[in-house]
Amino acid sequence: MRKNQIWILSSIILSSLLVFQLFAPLSRAVPSLYYSWTYKAGDLIESLAISDDGQYIVAASDDMNVYFFHLSSSTPLWSYKTGGVVESVAISSDGQYIVAGSDDTNIYLFTKTNSTPLWNYSTDGIVRKVVISSNGQYIAAGSGSKLYLFKYNSSTPLWSYNPGSAIRGVAISSDGQYIVAGCDNYMVYYFRQNSSTPLWSYTTGGVVQSVAISSDGQYIVAGSWDKRIYFFQQNSSTPLWSYETGNQIRNNELVAISSDGQYIVAGSWDQRIYFFQQNSSTPFWNYTTGNILNSVAIASNGQYIVAGGADNQLNLFGSSSATPLWSLTLDSAIGSVAVSSNGQNFVASSYMNVHYFDIGDDDNDGLSNCYENYITYTAPDNWDTDGDGYSDGWEIQNGYNPLSSLSNPTVIAILVAISVAIGLMVVLLIIKRKRKS
């Protein structure tokens, strides 16, 4: 009798475990942030850009190629080989137009559907920086010693301006009405679209390599090799304020500004990231990294900041705190970063690699939208895809299947209870028969 009881109880336990395994796959940890994908180019990535909605990404590489991606895949939708290192890329808000500048002295304009340029224009030298208005109507570029402005439908410049010195940084307002440029001659120049004569200029104490402008063109920020960050309002060449960092601001992606001009972020070779509010030259916060900064970006709404540099560390911040929301060590120095309008999607480069990230979680279930779309195949707009009362993120984190309403603790507990009850009934039946015999 004891042997029968032991055998029956063992069967109950084994059957219960089998039921659990059938309905609860192996646990898979869900990182708080992850690569949606990574793409390896043929050489160093120089520049990145992302559309406002995060759907499209463009990359510039030393392998002379322009690469264009959709967020759903690391396989480029297309690539185009220029005649030299591609120094800079930019993309319109909707991803419809892409502009690139190359060491072959050419500016190239593409549409998202075709790798054949709509047009290209040969400038007076290396094209160091290109930008495009959010509406895709206007393109500005700094090349050699000239600043160029184009309308998207023609390769003939609307105008050009020669400051007698190399153009390092360029930015353009959302509608293309205002343009700002920084130069080797220590100058910041501010233009209106209808004239190649600057509305004003300002002399800093060093090369101006990085500039940014608010969407409406009302506010301008510039970073200089003189270690200072300068903040201007449209109507005056006198800075509203300036702030001295501990080292040079020596890259053309080291200042950025929110769409409304309320928030400013800057990176310095003093290894710090600085975050300002428009009305004060005192940083709201600053963060010390492990090496020089190469690139910073801010979401249009000013709520998220992405930064990276020579310490290989990619950092994501919220506007309210110097404590990173998240950080990740990549395989090599981070050269360029870009962020979508709402801060939910961003890209970063590390040597030859393009890394795409998604942190959007529309249904607040703990799984990002891309994770649900391309990994778990759960609904990104429904926190409980299988309708069993447990969130998709909780089920994944705890080893359940979010696509099966039978895979949750409640159902499994019921199944185990039923198995135990059946087992006990069998035991009682055997005991009863033994007594009769």
How does DSSP assign 296-336, residue by residue? EEE-TTSSEEEEEETT-EEEEEETT-SS-SEEEE-SS-EEE
Q: How many Å apart are CA 48 and CA 258, to the nearest integer?
A: 18
Question: At residue 299, what is the residue type?
Answer: A
User: Cα–Cα distance between 265 and 304 in angstroms, integer?
Assistant: 10
pLDDT band at 267 (very low <50, low <70, confident <90, very high): very high
What is the per-residue pLDDT across 18-38, written as a single tens digit (0 to 9) for each?
Answer: 444 444 433 333 334 455 899
pLDDT of residue 296: 98
68 to 73, 76, 94, 157, 260: CA distances (angstroms):
11, 5, 14, 25, 28
Lowest mean pLDDT among 34-38, 94-98, 255-259, 403-407: 34-38
Residue range 154-160: average pLDDT?
A: 98
Residues 202-216 have pLDDT tens digits of 999 999 999 999 999
**Which among 14, 73, 125 has a CA at the least distance from the CA of 423?**
14
Asked if pLDDT for residue 7 goes beyond 60, the answer is no
**Which is more confidently placed, 319 or 437?**
319
Residue 15 clears pLDDT 90, i.e. is over it: no
**CB-based contact 359:316 (threshold 8 Å):** yes
Query: 241: burial class by Cβ within 10 Å (0-12, 13-18, 19+)?
Result: middle
Which residue has 């509305």 as its token pair? Answer: 199
Q: How many residues does the chain have?
A: 437
Mean pLDDT of 263-287: 98
Q: Give the residue-averaged pLDDT of 83-97.
A: 98
Residue 395: phi and psi, rounded to 5, are -65, -45
pLDDT tens-place string over residues 320-346:
999 998 888 999 999 999 999 999 899
3-state secondary structure (DSSP) of residue 6: helix
In three-state secondary structure terms, 421 is helix
CATH fold of the domain at 37-370: Methylamine Dehydrogenase; Chain H (2.130.10)
Which pLDDT score, from 0 to 100, does residue 386 have?
Answer: 87
Q: Which residues of 190-225 are buried (b: 16+ CB within 10 A; e: fewer)?
A: bbebeebebbeebebebbbbbbbbbbebebbbbbbb
- Of the ranges 103-107, 278-282, 393-397, 411-415, which one carries the lowest mean pLDDT score? 411-415
**Which amino acid does the sequence have at 115?**
S
Give the confidence band of 398 by pLDDT, cuts at 50, 70, 90: confident
In the sheet where 178-183 sits, what is the strand order?
A: 167-172, 178-183, 187-192, 200-203
For residues 427-435, give the mean pLDDT.
Answer: 74
pLDDT band at 121 (very low <50, low <70, confident <90, very high): very high
**8 band by pLDDT with thresholds 50, 70 and 90:** low
Asked if pLDDT for residue 360 goes beyond 90, the answer is no
The per-residue pLDDT for 368 is 81
Structure token pair of residue 125: 């030298």
Most confident of 2-6, 369-373, 377-381, 409-413: 377-381
Question: What percent of the chain is modeled with pLDDT above 70?
Answer: 91
Q: Tell me which of 92 and 405 has the higher pLDDT.
A: 92
How far is it, in rounded angstroms, from Cα 215 to Cα 357?
Answer: 25
Q: What is the pLDDT at residue 34?
A: 56
Rounded to 10 deg, the angle between the 2-23 and 409-436 helix axes is 160
Which pair of structure tokens corresponds to residue 375?
A: 């990994």
Band the pLDDT of 409: cuts 50, 70, 90: confident
Higher-confidence residue of 419 and 87: namely 87
DSSP-derived letter for residue 380 is T
The 3-state DSSP class for residue 414 equals helix
Tell me the domain boundaries of the chain. 1-24+409-437, 37-370
The pTM score is 0.83
pLDDT band of residue 264 (cuts 50, 70, 90) is: very high
Q: How confident is the model at residue 406 (pLDDT cuts 50, 70, 90)?
A: confident
Report in angstroms the alpha-carbon separations of 275 from 73, 131, 253, 304.
33, 23, 15, 11
